[in-house]
Amino acid sequence: MLAGYLRFKLKSQLNLQPASPDIQLPPPTPGQKYVLYAHVPFCESLCPYCSFNRFLYQEDRARKYFQRLREEMRRVADLGYRFESLYVGGGTPTILPEELAATIDLSKSLFGIQEVSCETNPNHLTDEIISILAGRVDRLSVGVQSFDDDLLQQMNRYQKFGSGQQILERIQSVAGRLPALNVDMIFNFPTQTEASLRRDVQFVVDSGAEQATFYPLMSSPSVERSMQVLGTVDYQREADYYHILSQELSRAFVPMSAWTYSRKGIAMIDEYIVKYDEYVGTGSGSFSYLNGTLYVNTFSLNEYEKALRESRFPITATRTFAKTERMQYRFMMELFDLMLNKKKFHQDFGLPVELGLFKEMFFMSLLGGLRTDGPDFLRLTHQQRYLLVVMMREFFAGVNRIRDQARRALHPSEQLMCQVDNRVIVP
């Protein structure tokens, strides 16, 4: 019921409007904290379930892209922005490690960034790449998805990254070399068994990684055809699998969000939008959320390069949200992060959450999802963390539909670069 309601609401809330060619990001608000996101949309091959903006890797295009990405960062700096954190996602950001290093170094000099989180794949856990990242990246998130060899075969990841045991050994070989290592996992694959899930959790515990993130399997219409190799998702058992992995992980980890777990209480998580109310996205296919408005960068590499060459922001669409929508967004994000700041909510929106979101508060309270934590905070109960997994799954599914719309507008030559196939360009 919750999933169906959210799908209905998000269809209307995430409709975008075309942006004028001369649109710019607004200047920063004094005293507001922001996070910077940088998107690197190149992969050596494409996974069937992934809906992010990504293209098959071509070295010459990727090198030019990194140059344009740094140009966009300079344009953001000219507006006066400062950032505490940088999150580099993809795609595979470590596809050209020396270009990534130059981009991180520039961002630190421009914005005073104190911490950097970056994504990678298991085949990039090499001495050479880790040495380049050391001193630059504080949290490295490795996309593993599963250690099950059968599932890796279905996802076309076995031939790229090796067996589950080989991937485990690669993670163990680099654990401890950076301040934090996160293992990205997916649960509720159609052919996944309870035994396979428990084995995945045990491999994560044995990996030595400081963090683990377990996403529910998510997709979008654009990848439905390629997802057929995995089978039909059974959402009825998703809750059971979530409770199993949560219970098993509790032996070595503590929850940092509804689906991120940490050994050391490290707070950096993949959902950078959860920790910051507002953010700036750079790169093709990135999103910015500022002053209640969503700004979407072009998904076209050609248009992205053209915009930066013409000294323009590469924004192609926007959506300004009403006050109630912004309150609902804050409510979901903070509870996903396990705790809602009632005092700050009141300050930002001019009324207490109990009045501004009466229906949402009643729903969560009725199900025993909230408990008070002092006068100013509401905490998500352990028993109902799965509710936020459902909410975030549907939210990201809605965002994936935005990505689908953007991909349909691409030139056929670029659409071809987005299609999932079985090629492996770099072993």
CATH assignment at residue 258: 3.80.30.20
Same structural domain for residues 229 and 261? yes
Same structural domain for residues 355 and 265? no
Same structural domain for residues 99 and 176? yes
Eight-state DSSP code of residue 174:
H
Please check whether residue 316 lies inside any domain of the structure.
no
Out of 20-24, 267-271, 364-368, 370-374, pick the least confident: 267-271
Please check whether residue 285 lies inside any domain of the structure.
no
Cα gap 273→232, rounded to integer Å? 30
State CA 418 to chain mean position distance: 19
C-alpha pair distances (Å), 396 with each of 119, 219, 301: 18, 9, 23
Can you tell me whether residue 341 is helix, strand or coil?
Answer: strand
Angle among Cα 13, 372, 243 to the nearest 5 degrees reads: 70
Higher pLDDT, 117 or 419: 117
The number of distinct structural domains making up the chain is 2
Range of the domain at 204: 18-277+399-418
Percent of the chain topping pLDDT 90: 74
Nearest alpha-carbon partner for 41 in 410, 427, 310? 410
Same structural domain for residues 188 and 332? no
Check pLDDT > 50 for residue 424: no
Check pLDDT > 70 for residue 354: yes
What is residue 410's predicted lDDT score, i.e. its pLDDT? 74
Same structural domain for residues 96 and 147? yes
Can you tell me whether residue 211 is helix, strand or coil?
Answer: strand
- Per-residue model confidence as pLDDT tens digits over 9-28: 766 667 788 999 999 999 99
What is residue 423's predicted lDDT score, i.e. its pLDDT? 40
What is residue 427's predicted lDDT score, i.e. its pLDDT? 28
- Per-residue model confidence as pLDDT tens digits over 204-235: 999 999 999 999 998 655 555 555 666 788 88
Same structural domain for residues 81 and 204? yes
* Average pLDDT score over residue span 285-303: 95
Same structural domain for residues 193 and 62? yes
Same structural domain for residues 272 and 336? no
Strand partners, 280: 36
Check pLDDT > 50 for residue 88: yes
Six token digits for residue 386: 């799965």
CA pseudo-torsion sign 188, 138, 424, 173: negative
Please check whether residue 223 lies inside any domain of the structure.
yes
What is residue 228's predicted lDDT score, i.e. its pLDDT? 60
CB within 8 Å of 311: residues ≥ 6 apart: 75
Nearest alpha-carbon partner for 140 in 266, 290, 300? 266
Cis, peptide link before residue 91, omega less than 30° from 0: yes
Same structural domain for residues 260 and 347? no
Same structural domain for residues 339 and 255? no
Please check whether residue 264 lies inside any domain of the structure.
yes
Please check whether residue 43 lies inside any domain of the structure.
yes
Question: Are 107 and 136 in contact, with CB atoms under 8 Å apart?
Answer: no
Please check whether residue 232 lies inside any domain of the structure.
yes
Same structural domain for residues 255 and 332? no
Please check whether residue 293 lies inside any domain of the structure.
no
Please check whether residue 139 lies inside any domain of the structure.
yes
Cα gap 185→211, rounded to integer Å? 11
Check pLDDT > 80 for residue 8: no
* Average pLDDT score over residue span 175-193: 95
Question: Are 273 and 146 in contact, with CB atoms under 8 Å apart?
Answer: no
Same structural domain for residues 260 and 355? no
CA pseudo-torsion sign 128, 134, 137, 142: positive
